[in-house]
Amino acid sequence: MHPQPYIGRFAPTPSGHLHFGSLLAALASYLDARSHAGSWLLRVEDLDQPRCVPGATDHILRTLEAYGMVWDGEVIRQNQRVALYQQVIDNWLDSGLAYYCDCSRQHIAKHGGVYPGTCRNRHLPFAHTHAVRVQAPQHEICFTDRLQGYFGQRLAAEVGDFVVKRRDGVIAYQLAVVIDDIAQGVTDIVRGADLIDSTPRQLWLYQLLKSEPPRYLHIPLVMRQQGEKLSKRLASPPIDTSMAPATLFKAIAALAQEPPADLRNAPVGEQLAWASNNWSPERLPAALQLLESTLPQA
């Protein structure tokens, strides 16, 4: 039996331009795919339209191209797939796996942030202001991350029944990402360690959808000295495309790949070829966070 072809992906949210932290996530996923002679897909997670910045999607695509990271196939945009997500939600509502909820954040906060199942047996009807929650299992959901090792959660006790459609009508990230990864045949997910807590919820949705989950590699987050991660929300500086070779060399080094010094000023294609051929994710520190000041400088 032949092994399944590797399919990876990068899925940015266009709430701003790419910063160095998101470049590292893109680069790690790209190198992991290319080192396995696999496909690297691009998906724009633009469901939360009020958070999307005009022009950000185009800027992200052009930045990736400037850094030599060319994707395979067409770009998928989640805001064009809402009907597909809704169909899954409707099926779960009909079968009793999901239910409508009108609980406020304040109500959930009173229970330590773990949803207590208040609306599970209330049988609320559809309303535009109701969220939809999926029932969480009592047993532990666990996986072995390629870098972080064993990770597990008892969803019912630690999270509770969780939202798959928000009260404002936006499809939740947890559901959309799983449906799209299944549809695109994604076998491997490489992303930031801030999303490792989401993985057990997504693994539960894979079970409900009767699909095989991918392998996971969660890379460390780049943190500011103040303990905040680089992010668009905190106005982390966007990547400068005019400095692509120098910044790419710094990014490869930040991923602990130890590029040779004579690669420092090489074209991005040459740098990516070396990094793909020498990609060793086990060199990454098995830490969830890295201070920006500790990263190698270009």
**Is residue 45 a known part of a binding site?**
yes
Q: Does one domain contain both 72 and 190?
A: yes
Q: Does one domain contain both 217 and 233?
A: yes
Does residue 75 fall inside a structural domain?
A: yes
Does residue 202 fall inside a structural domain?
A: no
Does residue 263 fall inside a structural domain?
A: yes
Does residue 96 fall inside a structural domain?
A: yes
**Is residue 232 a known part of a binding site?**
yes
**Is residue 282 a known part of a binding site?**
no
**Is residue 158 a known part of a binding site?**
no
Does residue 201 fall inside a structural domain?
A: no
pTM, entire model: 0.91
Residue span of the structural domain in which 112 resides: 82-175
Does residue 204 fall inside a structural domain?
A: no
Average pLDDT of every residue of the chain: 91
Q: Does one domain contain both 53 and 190?
A: yes
Q: Does one domain contain both 37 and 168?
A: no
Number of domains in the chain: 2
Does residue 48 fall inside a structural domain?
A: yes
- Residue 242's pLDDT is 87
Q: Does one domain contain both 59 and 106?
A: no
Q: Does one domain contain both 139 and 276?
A: no
For residue 160, give the CATH number of its domain.
3.40.50.620
**Is residue 12 a known part of a binding site?**
yes
Q: Does one domain contain both 61 and 190?
A: yes
**Is residue 14 a known part of a binding site?**
no
Q: Does one domain contain both 286 and 218?
A: yes
**Is residue 129 a known part of a binding site?**
no
**Is residue 142 a known part of a binding site?**
no
Contact status, residue 178 vs residue 205, Cβ threshold 8 Å: yes
- Residue 66's pLDDT is 96
Q: Does one domain contain both 72 and 167?
A: no
Does residue 203 fall inside a structural domain?
A: no
Structure-token match 């064009």, residue found: 80
pLDDT band at 290 (very low <50, low <70, confident <90, very high): low
**Is residue 119 a known part of a binding site?**
yes
C-beta atoms surrounding 190 within 10 Å: 26
Q: Is the pLDDT of residue 13 over 70?
A: yes
**What average pLDDT does the segment 94-105 reach?**
96
| Burial class of residue 246, CB neighbours in 10 A (0-12, 13-18, 19+) | middle
- Residue 232's pLDDT is 44
Q: Does one domain contain both 263 and 128?
A: no
Q: Over the stretch 28-43, which tens digit does the pLDDT of each residue have?
A: 999 999 999 999 999 9
Q: Does one domain contain both 165 and 190?
A: no
Q: Does one domain contain both 65 and 190?
A: yes
pLDDT > 90: what percent of the chain? Answer: 83
